[in-house]
A and B are shown apart, each in its own frame.
Chain A
């Protein structure tokens, strides 16, 4: 291990450049298209994820239009409603959140934050993106395939997923499963890179316990994803065989349209086990990078060292480890209630402890911090508030789940959107506002950013708070329309209200996209370190960082990532690569 017994002022000779190891792009194509530079790959990942995320957003508008104004939109049939739900859920969870956190932020931040020149296997890293893109294209193709995309619900449960009564049971499900398989292959290529780069690529002095929490979050999430995605892979391959080759891994003997199908009595439960074996950790695969990033945003913008860094690291590791253990309930409880209610209730109870520690530490960091209400900080605060809120409704759900009816209502939809949808999205948005200046060299427009934040934040509450109430009234989820159920009549005006707000929130995202494009040319010049942050990515010789990141010499790390408000320091912070405090006076 690296021994840190030297005096603080000792200067160490910097590491040499290993020029030969670095791949140099030779043409425009290899520089911007088939690039092996993690930064370019990160941008490719992010743009693709945001583009497909936009599709999921539009789908949510269509669903909301149907729910808010049933009967007005003749082009939305019950079948297409199920297709919208399915595609919306799947895209949001996998193709947007997972891809953006790990493929996007992981690629951009890992090499820069640990002081590496690039990922350790740049070629594999490039392949990872192109396979991901292929997965997205296959997914998009299912919208145009005969019969449309699958409408089986994002959990894709057999048998109904591949029976002809379900929309998209022809092409749709085949394309969806193929796309998932591709996604997993692509992710594995990327994931190997992220893990090995963190293990091997750290620059001199960057011990594990000096890594920013962002890297801890992304690293742990990647390890979990590498072990959990194979379950989805196995499930998808077997389901694809059932659908295309007539096997009966999952398909029970079923009478369809008066005819016995050539099935041998497979086990649908088996699929559920495999699915949740992946689905369960997936929540934390999305949450851990968000936790890490938020810690760094809060610390930087409150000019305060993160409270309880060690505990934060342990909590990340503990959440990762615990969520492995929690999996077991899917393995022993056969025929478990697969609904989210149960799912969240159990996990929130067990994982509540390390999660609570994290929330507690964020709040203590903010306490007496010198809070700058910058746009990234607003989003980070929005996240903390939302997360605490979701935790509380989660506890409520934990009690209420005994009361099974609630577990399949809009209450659950509202709850998991708050915890798993809104909360990570707020982090992603905050992170984009935070790192955009490094990526492009320009600041995002502040006024537009604040507008974006307030509409998104308040809007999310206006959408999902009433939805809890709808759930308590008994409005079920995955219902195309409520019909003439008298007792639910009063839900109509509320539903219409939610829809209007959802459209407004969607509009705010367009403003954000405009900001991204506009600031690229018109934004204020950012300089190399506009937030006066300590971490290495802000100390690069060029902004945006060039190929190879560090000029001639790799940075050497002398301290942890949270030296803010240092008494006596020339500025109020000490970058990680600064040898010793420059005392004034």
Chain B
């Protein structure tokens, strides 16, 4: 469970850092008055609610994957573990996902410059490569199955299918949001809102890329010999 502990430690330090700036030692019973007028709506600060919501959501998803990884490593250390060999296709998929993330990064830059043409191109590239990643993952499953490794073949196989499926589902959910943002852009919105939704998608993409890299590294380090 080391991974989960580390993850929680990170989340915990973010919370602690944030709390440390909240004047928790002030004496509210001595203070009166409403303070300076806030910058935006409410007095919460300049971060848009949707962005904060996304980060909180990422903490939840992070906790989910940390737990999967912890379960994986705990299970791995039990006697009957038989390591798995991985299809090489996963390298290609990883490349696709990196490209997708990079494309969304370009999209954010283009949106900031209000450069509509590049924005559309980058969004399209990001969407297509992410879809490519998902298709690649399914192909990888089929290669495994063709090699006689099914969901219930061994604990390692079960973990492989389950974890890749959960990751893929999260990306698929992201694709829905990304497509919606793309449509909004194509309809000619260079507005604040489209920029925000492109930014949110990019953050989510980078996060899922990070999760995938960690998962892939873990799978690689614990894999068995080739077929």
Contact = CB atoms under 8 A, between A and B. Distances in A.
Contact of B41 (A1, A18, A277): A18
Interface residues of A, number: 79
A201 B60 contact: no
A562 interface: yes
B8 interface: yes
Contacts of B64: 230, 233-234
A445 to B, nearest CB: 36
A192 B61 CA distance: 12
A6 B79 CA distance: 68
B28 interface: yes
B78 A196 contact: no
Contact of A246 (B4, B34, B152): B152
Interface stretch (A41-49, A265-273, A343-351, A400-408): A265-273
Nearest to B156: A264
A109 B99 CA distance: 45
A486 interface: no
B80 A558 contact: no
Given A2-B35, A203-B42, A234-B67, A309 B12 contact: no
Contact of B11 (A227, A231, A557): A227
B152 A245 contact: yes
Interface residues on B, range: 35 or more
Contacts of B154: 264
B220 to A, nearest CB: 21
A1 B22 contact: yes
Interface string A202-224: 11111111100000000000010
Contacts of A207: 22-23, 26, 28, 35, 43
B152 A201 contact: no
Contacts of B151: 241, 245-247
A309 B28 CA distance: 9
A559 B33 CA distance: 7
Given A4-B35, A238-B71, A309-B29, A227 B22 contact: no
Interface in A1-44: 1-8, 10, 12-13, 15, 18, 21
B31 to A, nearest CB: 5
Contacts of B11: 227
Given A201-B44, A205-B43, A245-B152, A3 B35 contact: yes
Contact of A200 (B8, B44, B155): B44
Interface in B1-24: 1, 4-5, 8, 11-12, 15, 19, 21-24
A200 B152 contact: no
A94 to B, nearest CB: 17
Nearest to B29: A560
Nearest to B78: A267
Nearest to B52: A196
B92 interface: no
A200 B45 contact: yes
8 contacts: A2-B43, A201-B44, A209-B24, A227-B8, A241-B162, A248-B158, A249-B158, A265-B155
Given A199-B52, A226-B63, A247-B151, 8 more contacts: A6-B34, A201-B49, A202-B43, A205-B43, A227-B8, A238-B162, A247-B152, A264-B80
